[in-house]
Structure formats: structure tokens, C-alpha cells
Structure 1
Amino acid sequence: MTSGYGAAVGRRARLVAVAAEPEDLTPRCLRRLAEVADELEVRADLVGDPDPSRLRRHFRGPLTYSLRSARHGGRSTVGPVERRTRLLRAADHYELVDLEAMDDVQPELLAAIPARQRRVSWHASEHAERSGGGCRAGLLEASGRLRKRFAAMSAVPAALYLLVPRSGTHYGSTAPLLLTGLGRTDVTAFASGPVGTWTRVLAPWLGAPVVFGRAGAPEADGMPSVSRLMSDYGLPALPPLSGLFGIAGRAPGGSLSPRLHNAALRELRLPALYLPFKVDRFSRFWRWSFDFGSLGGLPLRGLTVTAPHKESALQVADVAGPDALGCGAANLLWLDAGCWRAATTDAVAALRALALVGVDPSGRRAAVIGCGGAGRAVAWALHEVGARVTLVNRGIAHGLEASSQLGLPYVPLSRFSPAGYALLTHATPLVEREPFPVAAADWDAVVLEMAYRDPPTALTRATHARGLVGIDGWEVLFVEVREQFRLMTGHPMPGTLLPRSICFDPAEQADTHGHTASGEPAPTHPVRREAP
């Protein structure tokens, strides 16, 4: 049994499916994985020790055995004797056996497991990889520690080396920095957790020979599913890459923006990739994204921005459009002739979605429920085209603030009735219940839902049941993504792309979370908080 790793042949990475649940090892799942994945990794700390001969009946590719310990972020708590026994037994049946640095690098194991079967790995402990100093100094210090870690690991000959530092305040940027500096083709490095998801996806373009995806549904560890790696990022193919776009928000992992943008980039053969950036503090992320090598040496060319960072996005721009200035927020940043421009595509998306169904807001009485960045943008746009707009918000403080900023009347949600309004726009992440009683709306009212979800949101269902004209968040999403793509790349999104067929991937049907049109996940439970 051998496993050879080297430079990607034909610009293609090796796709490794990680079995982390017993259901991932059923014959049906294994046969499905055999059609798309090159290798299968068995997380024995999560699924136990399955019979390798049974696995090979349904999956013909190489098998990797991993008994990840609690010290390395896994679930295994077995003692050293049992651990050595299981690793040695696995060496008789698996092409690769994961050896944790430096605990498993022992004479007995090294003598029994040849270098061609070894994957030497290191996952940072909870308190490892703390940042130090300022922005650039902290990045270089953390990168230096990671290089020393790899130097110690590489003293042990192996087929593959795997390093997973913690994301920390560096947003995982030390992992790409390591890959770009080593110039080796037997090393894979990415950052842990959802903050590091973008490093997992980008790593193959920087020289990593493999990319890991969950065999089943993705979990909170930041590892996308195999189907999402393929549908959202086009992996394992590695077309030329010279720049990056992305979505920055607090939970971008479930957004469909990467799928739509990357499909268009591939169709037009533009050498760019659109990545998800989980961001807690936008100003800090903005600094890191421009630091030396922090994004693998690839320039950032544009970002879509979701709550709660839309106000911060406006602040970092060099030039802002009238829509962003008018509502005090931006959900798009793009580089234009060395200048960062800001806009809010929520405004144009809402107006165009209304125009597609023949609705002219001019002169109509309109209510906008939600005073976050999207709600303010839609309210500003409707007011600009002559609608008589009233703001509605659950949180009184934010409602009054938006009212003062836009010069529009405000009504608390607790006192709001949809009666008398010709146009009702919902711009909060609430999807599980109606934000207002649709039954009380006028018979000829038009309802614009900014959130998208499959199955439809409660508001969309109630609108259709009442027989009202309704525009769901999917239509807004498709309009908005086209506008964002045009501004960021300078190219129209190809007309040959069918957004609905791209979005509704059968392999992803289990993911039913809702999102706003600009990518912000919408919780699937009732929201009892102030809208972002």
C-alpha cells in the first residue's frame, strides 16, 4: 500500500472525504463518495474502527486512519498502550496512518509504519498560537512559530504533513503564509474553526496537495462538506488564480454567494476566487487582509459585507456612493483604479425586484420593517423614487436612530399594523414566523421579503396564502448578486447561468437555514432581539 503526494497534476487537488459520523460509512454514502472523492479518512475517534474490507467493497480509493486525541482537538481519550495497538493494527489495512506530533513519533511506531504510510499532523491546542505585538509583528511572530513547528515535524520522514494552527486574531492567515513560504508539495496547512474555512479552501491553490471535506453535513469545526467544496468552489479543479473576492460577516459559511459568484468566475474564466470570511471585528480584519502575505500573497479585490459590519464597511471606503451615504451603511466594497469604493446593493436589488413584477413605488405608502443596514438602504431607495415611507423596528433605539438619519417617520413594531400600506418590505433575519399579521394587510398590498430560505419563510407562505403579490428573497438575491458581481469584476454575470439550478443543489437540501439577500444567515427559530 502506497500513497504518493506531489504537485497537483493538471491543476487538480486530491479531494479527501472525512467520515465523522457512523452514517458516513453506510454503503449508500460510501458509493456516493466513491464517485467524487479521491480518498477517504476515517475519524476513528468519532466512528470507531470499522472493518476496512467492508469499506473497500464500496470505496476503492486510498484510506486514511485518524485517531485524533483530545489534545489535538479530537475525541479520543484512550491510553498510550491502546493507542499504539490501534495505530499498529491500522497500518496493516490503511494506506495512511495519522501520527500526531510529537506524541506518536516513537521508535516502535516508526519502525512498524514506513514513511510512505505516515501522515504527521499537528492541531494547535486551545491556548496555542497566541498573537503577539502589533498587526504585522504579531503575524510574523506567529508565522515564525509555525515554521519552527514544521521544522520539528519534518525531521520525521512522511508522505504528508498536516498543520492546523488556531485562527486567533490572525484570521488564519499564518497557515497561507506558511504554505507560500515553504515551496513544498507534501504539506497541507489551514486554520481551525469557522474563521479558518477560507484557508481550507484556498490551501490547494497555494501548494497543498489535498483538500478535506466532510462526508456528510458540515459541522461547527469549519470543514465544508465534500459537496459544498465542489458546488461552491469548483474543487478539486484548480484553475489559475491571481486575486480574491469574498463575503465578510459573522456567519458567512451558509451563504449562497460563494456558489453564485464562483460559478460566474469559472464561466468567464476570470482568475479569481470568492471566499467566506467569518469576521468579528471588521476593522481588524480589514488591516489583516492587506498585511504582507496574510491572504496567501493574493490581492483582495472586493467584498460583500453582511451585518453587523455594514457601517464599518462604509467607514473604510475611499469613495462612497449616494446610496451608501444616504443610509449610512455599505454591503459592497470593491477596488477600482487603486481606490476602494462602497455601495449598498440592497437598494438597487429591492427596486429592480419590484420593477420585475411591474410595481412602481412612486406615490405609494410603504412600510419597511427592520432598521438595520438592509432596511435603511431599502427605505432610502423607496423614498428617493417618491414612496411615502414609514420605518418599523422592534428595537426603539435603533428605530429612532434610523428615523433621525433618514428623516422618515418611525413606528415601533409592537404598534404597527400593515393596514393602509400598499408596499410592505421585510428586512430582518426573522424567517420562522410572520413579522407582522399578513391577514391585516390590504387586499392589494405588495409584500417584498428580503430574506431567502428553502422552504419559504413564514412571511412568504402567509403572503401566498392570502393571495397577495409577493416577492421572495430569492428574487432579490439573484438581482443583488448580479449587481455585486458586475461592480466587483467589471463584467456582467453570464446570462447562461441559471441561479436557481445552481442554488438548489440536491446534495445540499438538508441545509434549510434562511439568509438575507446580501448573505446574512437568518435563524430558523423566532428572533427575540433587535434586528441588526
Structure 2
Amino acid sequence: MVDTPSASRNVPIAGVIGWPIAHSRSPRLHGHWLQRYGITGHYVPLPVMPEHLAEVLRAMPRMGFVGANVTIPHKESVLALADVVTDRAALIGAANTLIFRPDGKIHADNTDGYGFIANIRQHAPDWIPGLGPAAVIGAGGAARAVVASLLESGVPELRITNRTRIRAEQIKAEFGAKVVVYDWAQAGNMLEGAVTVVNATSMGMEGKPPLRVPLDALASGTLATDLVYTPLMTSFLQEAQARGCKIVDGLGMLLHQATPGFERWFGHRPEVDDELRRAVLA
């Protein structure tokens, strides 16, 4: 556990729970905001093994914690441990933001979809999701949040593909008739006529295999965005840009998904701007 000698009811503490957690940029992100706004509070990394998750969560409110972010591998597990689960977290099947209420109950939410849309709105303000189909590559936990947010934003059709087709089929079963599943071998065809294209896999990330989806069908003017942000300019975004697409990198999703939690925990709505990007990338 974390040493919290200064913890008191007047000094809110939050953190990020994961295993492992050393790679997380969340402490740098929230630490920047705390310093920038002159807020007395703490945000700490919390390495928690899966078998200790329930015990740790129950202890945290008694230690002065007001909430936490949740990352791999705990985002699904926390739903069963929370007392209150928002509709969107239940629909996505994962939570990334916890609020410890004064009565001791744990409130679980998912702000990934919010962060995804807010990032696009900030960097592509002329994006109109209803103009045509969206195409999502991948069907993991992050993809589920993207699918939910795109459908809520008004896309008329959502095309999805995944190397393991059954995961894409599960998303169609849960999210309805607007979702159309494509075989992985047909992923390139899925992009034809798409107004919005999203890489929601880890392919293209540093240390991961490249994204090998043909992009020939990408039309100039299409919005292309990647959830990967290491590197910021993935090969997918580079090729999309070369084809005349409007591109949005994945870092902003990380930054924007953090704002609702920070506001609830520390009482101030933080700003996502270039200064924050530089701080998190430093």
C-alpha cells in the first residue's frame, strides 16, 4: 500500500490502480493539474495484484482516498466490486474511474468514450459523425467504449473488425443493428466510404506488431484517429495523413478521460491544452 502520512479528510488523495503500474502517465497528468491550480491533494500510482483488488478497494476510503482511476487488468473486475455502476460503464463492461462516496460506497464509471469524443472535438471541430459510416478496427475494452460513444454521437452505421471475429460479433449482439461485422481479411474493404476510421487495437504501439490493414480505400477528408499514443504519430496516422485524411492522435483521449474524475475528486474542472500535453510527454 502507499504511505500517506499527510492524509486527512481535508487533503484528498486519489490514484491509479493497475498491475503493473509504473508505465502509467496518470500521476504526471493529475500532478500537473494539482500544481497548476494550486490544489492541496495527492495522486499516486498503486500497484495492486488482482487477488488483492477487493481488499485494497475497501481499505482506500478509510485511508483518505476520494477515488481512483483503474487500468489493466482491473477495469472489468471492479464492476463486480462497486456498489453503484453507471449505465455507460455497465454497457461497456468496464470502469476506469472510481469515486469513493462519503457513505463508503464505491461508484464506478467509464469516461473513455467521453475522452475519445472530446479529443476529436478539440482537434477536429468540423467533424460531423452523422455524415457517414464509422469503421473501428479492434473489439477489445477500449473499442467497446469507442463504439458506445460513436453510436451515441449519431453515426448511421458502425463497421467493426477484429482478428478474433467472435469479439466483434459480441459487440454487435450488445450494441444493435447499426453495427456491421467484417472479417479481418476484409478490413481494408470496411474503410470504403467511411467518414470516421479508428484504430482501437494496440497494433502500431511501440513494442507491438504493426497494424497491417490496407488503407487504399481511405478517402481524402476522412477523420482517422488512433488510440495508440506511443508513438504519437503511428504509421497508421502517417499513411492516413498522406492520403489527405484529417488525423487526431491518441494522447488527447488519455487527457480528456481524466477530467471528470479530477473534477469529482478535487473540486475543479481542469483544462486540456498544449501545456498539459507537453507535461505528460516530458
TM-score (norm 1): 0.46
2:256 to 459, 469, 479: 479
- Partner SS for 2:161: strand
TM superposition shift of 1:495: 7.2
TM superposition shift of 1:494: 5.4
1:317 to 82, 85, 93: 82
Cα contact 1:247–1:276 (8 A) shared by 2: yes
TM superposition shift of 1:471: 0.6
- Partner SS for 2:42: strand
**Which residue of structure 1 lines up, in the alignment, with residue 211 of structure 2?**
434
Cα contact 1:330–1:373 (8 A) shared by 2: no
Partner amino acid, structure 2, of 1:410: V
Cα contact 1:431–1:457 (8 A) shared by 2: yes
Task: Point out which structure has higher relative CO (alpha carbons under 8 A, 6+ apart).
Answer: 2
Sequence identity, in percent?
A: 25
Matched, 1:445 2:213: no
Cα contact 1:268–1:494 (8 A) shared by 2: no
After superposition, the Cα gap between the structure-2 partners of 1:363 and 1:465, relative to the gap in structure 1 and judged at 3 Å, is closer
**Which residue of structure 1 lines up, in the alignment, with residue 138 of structure 2?**
370
Partner amino acid, structure 2, of 1:344: N
Matched, 1:461 2:238: yes
Matched, 1:355 2:110: no
- Give the Cα separation in 1 of the matches to 2:116 and 2:49: 27
After superposition, the Cα gap between the structure-2 partners of 1:317 and 1:352, relative to the gap in structure 1 and judged at 3 Å, is same
- C-alpha offsets along residues 138-176 of structure 1, whole Å, 9 cap, x if unaligned? xxxxxxxxxxxxxxxxxxxxxxxxxxxxxxxxxxx3xxx
Partner amino acid, structure 2, of 1:409: V
Cα contact 1:347–1:377 (8 A) shared by 2: yes
- Give the Cα separation in 2 of the matches to 1:488 and 1:439: 46
In our comparison, the structure showing a higher alpha carbon Rg is 1
Residue correspondence of structure 1 range 161-240 to structure 2 within 5 A = 173=1, 199=2, 202=3, 206=5
Q: Matched residue pairs, number?
A: 269
**Which residue of structure 1 lines up, in the alignment, with residue 183 of structure 2?**
412
- Partner SS for 1:439: coil
Gaps of 5+ in 1: 1-172, 174-198, 208-237, 506-532
Gaps of 5+ in 2: none
- Partner SS for 1:442: coil
Cα contact 2:218–2:240 (8 A) shared by 1: no
Cα contact 1:246–1:258 (8 A) shared by 2: yes
- Partner SS for 1:453: coil
**Which residue of structure 1 lines up, in the alignment, with residue 165 of structure 2?**
396
- Give the Cα separation in 1 of the matches to 2:273 and 2:120: 23
- C-alpha offsets along residues 413-459 of structure 1, whole Å, 9 cap, x if unaligned? 23212222111111222225235223331223211211212452222
Matched, 1:335 2:103: no
- C-alpha offsets along residues 333-382 of structure 1, whole Å, 9 cap, x if unaligned? 11244342222111111222222212121252011222222111110111
After superposition, the Cα gap between the structure-2 partners of 1:248 and 1:411, relative to the gap in structure 1 and judged at 3 Å, is farther
- Give the Cα separation in 2 of the matches to 1:296 and 1:481: 20
> CA-atom RMSD, angstroms?
2.8
- C-alpha offsets along residues 89-115 of structure 1, whole Å, 9 cap, x if unaligned? xxxxxxxxxxxxxxxxxxxxxxxxxxx
**Which residue of structure 1 lines up, in the alignment, with residue 69 of structure 2?**
304
Partner amino acid, structure 2, of 1:375: A
- Give the Cα separation in 2 of the matches to 1:497 and 1:353: 13
- Partner SS for 1:254: coil
- Partner SS for 2:159: strand
After superposition, the Cα gap between the structure-2 partners of 1:484 and 1:393, relative to the gap in structure 1 and judged at 3 Å, is farther
**Which residue of structure 2 lines up, in the alignment, with residue 502 of structure 1?**
279
Matched, 1:244 2:244: no
TM superposition shift of 1:469: 0.5
Partner amino acid, structure 1, of 2:184: L
After superposition, the Cα gap between the structure-2 partners of 1:487 and 1:412, relative to the gap in structure 1 and judged at 3 Å, is farther
- Give the Cα separation in 2 of the matches to 1:435 and 1:463: 13
- Give the Cα separation in 2 of the matches to 1:497 and 1:444: 24
**Which residue of structure 2 lines up, in the alignment, with residue 65 of structure 1?**
none
- C-alpha offsets along residues 310-353 of structure 1, whole Å, 9 cap, x if unaligned? 22222222222232122222211112443422221111112222
Cα contact 1:307–1:373 (8 A) shared by 2: no
- Give the Cα separation in 1 of the matches to 2:152 and 2:232: 33
Matched, 1:284 2:57: no
- Give the Cα separation in 2 of the matches to 1:440 and 1:373: 26
**Which residue of structure 2 lines up, in the alignment, with residue 262 of structure 1?**
31
TM-score (norm 2): 0.83
Partner amino acid, structure 2, of 1:330: A
Partner amino acid, structure 2, of 1:412: D
